[in-house]
Amino acid sequence: MKKLIEVRNLNIAYGGKAGWTNVVQDVSFEIARGEAFGLVGESGCGKSTVAYRLLGYGTINSLVQTGEVVFDGMDLLKLDTSALTRLRGNRIALVPQNPTTSLSPGMRVGSQIREMIATHRALPDGISMERRVVELFALVGLPDVGHRYPHELSGGQQQRVAIAMAVACNPDLLVLDEPTTGLDVTTQRQIIQLLCDLRASIGMAMLYVTHDLALLAQIADRVGVMYAGQLVEVAPCNELLAAPAHPYSRGLIASIPTVDGTDRQAGGLRGVLRRDQISTGCKFEPRCDFASGPCRTTPQVLQPVGDVRFVACMKWREAAVPQTPAGKPSQRVETTRQDTLLSVTDLNLSYRKPGSFDRFFRKSIPPVVRDIDLEVRAGEVVALVGESGSGKSTIARAISGRLPPQSGSVSLNGDLLAPALKSRSVEQLRQIQYIFQNPDASLNPRRRIRAILERPLDHFGIETNEMALAAVLDNVGLHAGYLNRFPDQLSGGERQRIAIARALLVNPKLLICDEILSALDVSVQARIVELLRSLKEKHAVAMLFISHDLAVVQQLADRVAVLYRGEIMQLADTGTLLGDSLHPYTEMLLDAAPGLSKDHYVSHPPAIPTSRAVPGIGCPLVGRCPRQVGSNCAETRPPVRQTGSGYIRCHVPVDELASPTVRPGLKPLSVET
């Protein structure tokens, strides 16, 4: 294969107050024409720094010490600005992470694409600019949205526009920096599919930077695993996933939650990347299970193992031994039917308060969350799953009392809870504890951990001593040495542990975990899930676990409620839901979640794509549902049908949903490994 771009011995340092820090060390790889290469690693490993250098771009405080990036015979690092300008966008294009901030908000998206083509004079002969723009939109699966502004498009559509812009000049290489990280599972899946199609039709090479190995499994030919600025393994994607050779790759793969159920936790990574604690030898040594004396002192470089595979580990033979399945299979302790702890009935929520005008005309405000019935038993974990904007957090806000409901009631232990926070008793407040998504924002940066932990105890009048604090820190996998630190001296995972400790300390009956994993790295996520599981077993605390990630949910939850646009579409036991999903929306979610091997995802086309969902009248899934049965779906509210372990809300009868044969024109999904 012909090399398109080759990176040789790249060393990049960042300048800071304390001098230069090496961020990227001796990175070498090449990408062939038309090949998709993935770069993967935890945050802070230098993957984006490398990716931007492929465009000859670096931040002002970074310095390339040695190395070359050879693109088509030219060293990009030696080119001057005007030569780079000709190259960027034209032959090497970038799809940035966040389309909301990368598209100019004050410009119609059509003119943004036109600008790209005009700058590089890349208009093919015999075609007008307007035609070309429409053609590009069609290429990325959009109607002609050229006259719209970015805010008029959804996140997924914005990313499609960004991709259309990147491929406008038929580039040879497309650099993608976490292009789907901010998107929903289903949208993410569509973008990945789009990229695969584009690659096939245009034949460009791709560098795909991500922290998500499961995504790379769907799109990349070869994968480079980065750790602390070094490539530790380069291998064909399927080989890497099947038999990782470097202990780090192995840990990374083991950390990924997948929907197919097997309990992979045993081989996860411990510790976090600390650049100040790196030994002179192998950088991964402090976290490695296979480490021995020589590892600490001998630097490891990439060595070929096999034809197309490179590993930077002297013990790769030991590490590459296929993993024995972790001791116990995922056994779920059947919670015996216990007393209902929390019950939510007929909850309707809206963020707008009716003004005097609305009241005068008896106008009702359409609720954003409708008819929620939910029950959490003592010691049980119930998950709320849905795409962004489906109302998961809104429900949690209402339960915690931060958003008084429009109608409906919430009761705890049989006692009705007051709608507003101010009128709830101290005891009720203590029993429900809330853990927020972002640990950076939920701990007061100006207070020491000790003060952060002691304040709730003091407030609720709970006696405390040093032992109790040490015990709770121990419980979440930290130690008493953390008490005198400030939150900014902790890593993201550690901060989230402190937030969990703070909630546990007051002995709550119910923990509300609002997307508490989404701000964390995969390996850290895996350990927090582990922690939550052990807490659930030890303390019998009930949890309402909010997440967009079905794979995480299946490891933790007893029951799952699937939300779509503010309505519960299905409520079922986790096992039932994953094994026998019934509801069309649940099916869509499950299909979209990437597994650890190429799964040839086929999205189900909606049965009646033209019908529009009207909130509060028909089924919210109308227009997107592959099983829509006609106008009935759009005009009447779907009935609630009881199933074995819960209920679903759908017009299609349960027994019909259970049989896959009625799906018109759909291939059954073939699972290949």
Partner 1 sequence: MSTIASNPSRRFARFGAERWHAAPGPFKVGAVILATHVLFAIVGFFWTPYGFAEMGAGLPLSGASFQHPMGLDQIGRDVFSRFMHGAHIVLLLAFAGTILGMVAGTTLGLLSGYVGGWFDEIAQRIVEAMISIPFLALALVMIIAAGPALAGEPVLIVLVVGLVYAPRIARIARAAAMEIATREYVAVAELRGEGTWSIVFREILPNAANVLLVEFSLRLSYAPILIGALGFLGFGIRPPTPEWGLMISENRNLLIASPVTVFGPGLGLASLVIGFNLFTDGLSRMLGQRPVAGA
**What distance in Å separates the CA atoms of residue 653 and residue 651, rounded to the nearest whole number?**
6
The phi, psi pair for 281, rounded to 5°, reads: -90, -125
**CA neighbours within 13 Å on the CB side: how many for 174?**
29
Q: Which of 126, 322, 445, 668 binds partner 1 (CB under 8 A)?
A: 445
Strand 36-40 versus strand 222-227 pairing type: parallel
Position 148 contacts partner 1 (CB under 8 A):
no
Separation CA 468–CA 474 (nearest Å): 10
Out of 8, 424, 485, 598, point to the residue binding partner 1 (CB under 8 A). 424
Which residue stretch of 113-121, 205-213, 277-285, 444-452 sits at the interface with partner 1 (rule: CB under 8 A)? Answer: 444-452
User: Can residue 426 be called a binding residue for partner 1 (CB under 8 A)?
Assistant: yes
Closest approach of partner 1 to the CB of residue 446, in Å:
4
> Are 573 and 590 a contacting pair, CB within 8 Å?
no
Beta bridge partners of residue 512, listed in sequence order: 434, 544
Residue choice 83, 129, 420, 441 for contact with partner 1 (CB under 8 A): 441
Among 451, 468, 470, 480, binds partner 1 (CB under 8 A): 451
Q: Which of 387, 396, 448, 452 is nearest to 588 (CA)?
A: 387
* Residue 241, both tokens: 């996933």
| Residue 475 in contact with partner 1, rule: CB under 8 A | no
Closest distance to partner 1 from the beta carbon of 551 (Å): 25
**One symbol per residue from 357 to 396: x for binding partner 1 (CB under 8 A), - otherwise; what is it?**
----------------------------------------
Number of H helices, E strands in the chain: 25, 24
Q: Are 633 and 624 in contact (CB under 8 A)?
A: no
Residue 546: CB minimum distance to partner 1, A: 14
**Does the protein bind partner 1 through residue 353 (CB under 8 A)?**
no
Q: Is 629 in the site for partner 1 (CB under 8 A)?
A: no
Task: Select the span of 112-120, 321-329, 450-458, 545-553 touching partner 1 (CB under 8 A).
Answer: 450-458
Question: Is 507 near partner 1 (CB under 8 A)?
Answer: no
Give 14 or 460: the residue with its C-beta nearer to partner 1: 460
Is 515 among the residues that bind partner 1 (CB under 8 A)?
no
**Can residue 485 be called a binding residue for partner 1 (CB under 8 A)?**
no
Choice from 208, 284, 310, 434 touching partner 1 (CB under 8 A)? 434
Q: CB within 8 A of 512, min separation 6: which ones?
A: 396, 399, 400, 432, 433, 434, 435, 543, 544, 546
SS3 call for 554: helix
Using the rule CB under 8 A, is 316 a contact of partner 1? Answer: no
Q: Which one of the spans 211-219, 290-298, 456-464, 549-557 is the region binding partner 1 (CB under 8 A)?
A: 456-464
* Between 70 and 457, CB nearer to partner 1: 457
| Span near partner 1 by CB under 8 A; candidates 216-224, 332-340, 454-462, 601-609 | 454-462
Residue 343 CA, distance from chain mean position: 29
Long-range contacts of 490-494 (CB under 8 A, 24+ apart): 490/449, 491/272, 491/524, 492/439, 492/440, 492/519, 492/520, 492/521, 492/524, 493/272, 493/520, 493/521, 493/524, 493/527, 493/528
Q: Are strands 340-349 and 407-412 parallel, antiparallel or unpaired?
A: antiparallel
Q: How far is the CB of 295 from partner 1 (least distance, A)?
A: 37
Angle at the Cα of 6 (from 4 to 174), degrees rounded to 5? 55
| Count of residues interacting with partner 1 (CB under 8 A) | 31
Name residues whose C-beta falls within 8 Å of residue 651's C-beta, 6 or more positions apart in sequence: 619, 629, 632, 633, 636, 638, 639
Residue from 3, 8, 33, 450 binding partner 1 (CB under 8 A): 450
Q: Is 352 in the site for partner 1 (CB under 8 A)?
A: no
Q: Contact region for partner 1 (CB under 8 A) — 40-48, 94-102, 113-121, 420-428?
A: 420-428
User: To the nearest whole angstrom, how small is the minimum distance from the Cβ of residue 445 to partner 1?
Assistant: 7
Q: Is 494 in the site for partner 1 (CB under 8 A)?
A: no
What lies within 8 Å, CB to CB, of 168 at 6+ separation is 93, 113, 116, 117, 122, 132, 136
Chain positions contacting partner 1, by CB under 8 A: 400-402, 421, 424, 426, 429, 432-434, 436-438, 441-448, 450-451, 454-456, 458-460, 486, 502
